[in-house]
Chain A
Amino acid sequence: MSRSQPAGLGRIPPLLLVPALLGTAVVVLPLLGLVSRSPWRALPDLLGEPDVRRALVLSLTTSTLTATVCLLLGLPLAWLLARGRFRGRAVLRALLTVPLVLPPVVGGVALLGGFGRTGLLGGPLREAFGVSLPFTTAAVVLAHTFVALPFFVLAVEGALQAQGERYDAVAATLGARRWTTFRRVTLPLALPGIAAGTVLAWARSLGEFGATITFAGNFPGTTQTMPLLVYTRLQDDPSAAYGLSLVLLGLSLAVLVLLRDRWLRGAVR
């Protein structure tokens, strides 16, 4: 990269500069507003409240569980979509990405229809084992997985597609079995994509609101995550809501910056 570069390379055409600045303002201005309105001095007290601590712990726990579930279920799915040769692959991909475009509240209603007490699976589950999912922490993880899984699957599928099939083919020619090929060749090559997908799923889970409050309810300690607590507080104490939003913002930023330096370089552009 020591060659001299043509003049103007890397400098944005003036016509594109204005929209780019506008786009930055749309994202950054509300964040600045949040920061400027936050009750900085009250933050330590706020963080000391039992409900806030419970919500923080619950959010971190459910996000980590969700990312893990996405990893376990999403990786095979991504492989299926990227490498599998079967009829209906396009349909499967379309179905799996529906939660991306679905309003989260609709997602919550759909989850009730599937896993609720009278739902398609939830009904028989309750009659057979007396298990009821709504209003439990498991319901939070389920709702989060519903919305986060597409992010993970698409990220990892993209990585697998980009990596192509040729190394897999070479491994197969050399006599490697399918599982060995997956474990020793496909998986290591896709690792940056998998890391990116996991972080995306984690972050999406941390911010999830609509599906959670609809499907899992809102109770401190079991289902009230940080976003739900922010919304609840917004009803009667907006200043506390600003403070809690700031905590959430700081948390997600910290994790994204940390992971970006370690794993994500080159994986997410």
Chain B
Amino acid sequence: MRETAGKLNRGWLAVIGIVALLLGVVGILLASGAASGIASATGTGFEPAGPGDTALPEDFQSIFAPPVAAVIVSVVAVVVGLLALAWLLAQLPRLHQAGTFRLNSGDNADGMTSCEPDVLTDAVEADVERLDGVQAASALLRGSASQPDLTLDVGIDPRADVRAIIEQIHSSVIPDFETAVGAPLSRNALLINVSNRPARDKTTVV
């Protein structure tokens, strides 16, 4: 039910992959001597290092000689470090639960109606737990009051009729929720967990 940074990871891994690929191609061209041929054929006027030369110019270290170079390198290192830390923190799975639902039918001049998502999920969980064969339910609400997104994690008895439970959830639990909120679900996800221990009820109503 928690969301991970999949899209962010894919984006940055693609960027890193492209940079590494370009560096690798440049390295192969320099090491094989093909870079000089390409440079002379295209007429860029740039003379790349040959296979026997050093890849960097002789006086490359002199770039770092001025005192300001150390400051610039330090700032760049700190920025890269902070980006890396942010990426690391983005890996923590998050619920991304919805904020307070505003359920106003008109403008806000007459007052506001608010409902915390926990209140709604508690009602949905109670609704699911009333179904035969359901041992426990956990609901997570994302989105907004106009476009709610509901994720349900339902623990059921091993002897329960899974198909009937899913059908009841779709035919009564979700419509009840949509009636209450007054908006159709933009997305709903249902996760069924089958327990290995049968439930035992202490009471029953005939």
Task: Please say whether chains A and B are actual partners in one complex.
Answer: no
Interface residues of B (CB under 8 A from A): none
A interface list, Cβ under 8 A from B: none
